[in-house]
Amino acid sequence: MKKILLLLPFLSLLSCYDAERSCKDFKTGKFKFEYEVNGVKKTTVFKRNDSIEIETFEGKTDTASIRWVNDCEYVLQKIHPKNMAEEKAIGMKILTTSKNSYTFEFGMVGSDAKQRGTVTKIAD
């Protein structure tokens, strides 16, 4: 019993380190996502409102619908898929936020395989 009482103050300190998320700040705006593929830096720029995301990558523009599950999770569905892979919806989950960026996890809906990335907000 004494051990439990001694641990209580430490357990309460752990709750202070929960990542705060201000997901609503990132529902709309213009964003940049940078990542590396085979040692080459790639950049995707996208503009998002409540229901549509317009993405530009290597000079090509694509549009996806957005369905918000909650303030920090949404599902993207390409409006004009060009192949079977693009027909699959992508689940997005914002994990942490800062003043002008957020870290997120994404993957095909129904798949356990997930990837992570960081997006920077470049305009409102």
**What are the domain boundaries of the chain?**
19-123
Q: 70-120 pLDDT, tens per residue? A: 999 999 999 999 999 889 999 999 999 999 999 999 999 999 999 999 999
Establish how many alpha carbons lie within 13 A of residue 109's alpha carbon, considering only the half-sphere containing its beta carbon. 14
Model confidence at 4: pLDDT above 50: no
Q: 8-40 pLDDT, tens per residue? A: 454 444 445 555 789 999 999 999 999 988 999
Q: What is the mean pLDDT of the chain?
A: 87
Superfamily of 19-123 according to CATH: Uncharacterised protein PF14869 family, DUF4488 (2.40.128.490)
For residues 23 and 102, what is the distance between their CA atoms, to the nearest angstrom? Answer: 8
CB 24 within 8 A of CB 9: no
pLDDT value of position 19 = 59
The predicted model scores a pTM of 0.81
Q: Residues of 78-116 as b/e, b for ≥16 C-beta within 10 angstroms?
A: beeeeeeeeeeebbbbbeebeeebbbbeeeeeeeeeeee
Model confidence at 7: pLDDT above 90: no
